Amino acid sequence: MEKKLARLKKSMTKHVFKDLSFSAEHQNAVRERLQRRYPFISYSDNTLWTIFTSIEHHPKHGFDILQILFHKGDMTFHRQEGYLYTLLHTFESRGFIKGEWSREKDKWKKYYFLTNKGKKALHKAAQKQKAPSLKNILEGGLAET
């Protein structure tokens, strides 16, 4: 399937789009629209998988999730830790995870855990080797989980 798509893209580039060009401004506008509509598009499936599996059985707060990602060599959020929290809020707003605040000593921490919808998405992605990626499931490329 990928070979067919690659050939189609090559053919379209040669013929259909040969005289087309987009300004950097237009490219950035398209990227921003895609990011708003598909907020997971810029993250690898491995990153999303690690986040979901890290909170599958035990709630964790953002810093713990970051440590797990870094331990696995995933530097997606290195020096950009705030993006992880934005992603977690997006997961939360879409019902894949839930966050609950807890006071520990004199600090408040928000712990995240998978909801049933999040568990179904993770399970669906793990079912088969040829199953759709977790990213596709989260983006709603398939029927709602």
- Summarised one tens digit per residue, pLDDT across range 90-127 is 899 889 999 999 988 888 899 999 999 999 988 888 88
Segment 76-96 mean pLDDT: 88
Which pLDDT score, from 0 to 100, does residue 101 have?
Answer: 92
> Rounded distance, CA 119 to CA 61, Å?
18
Q: Which is nearest to 92 in space by CA: 72, 113, 68?
A: 113
> What's the angle, vertex CA 89, arms to CA 134 and CA 141, rounded to 5?
30
- pTM value is 0.67
The string of DSSP letters for 11-44 reads HHHHTTSTT----HHHHHHHHHHHHHH-TTTTS-
- Domain range summary for the chain, segments of one domain joined by +: 1-37, 42-138
Q: Does domain 42-138 have CATH number 1.10.10.10?
A: yes
The mean predicted confidence, pLDDT, of the chain is 80
Q: Is the pLDDT of residue 40 over 60?
A: yes
Alpha helices, DSSP H, located in the chain = 2-14, 24-37, 45-54, 62-71, 81-93, 116-126, 134-138
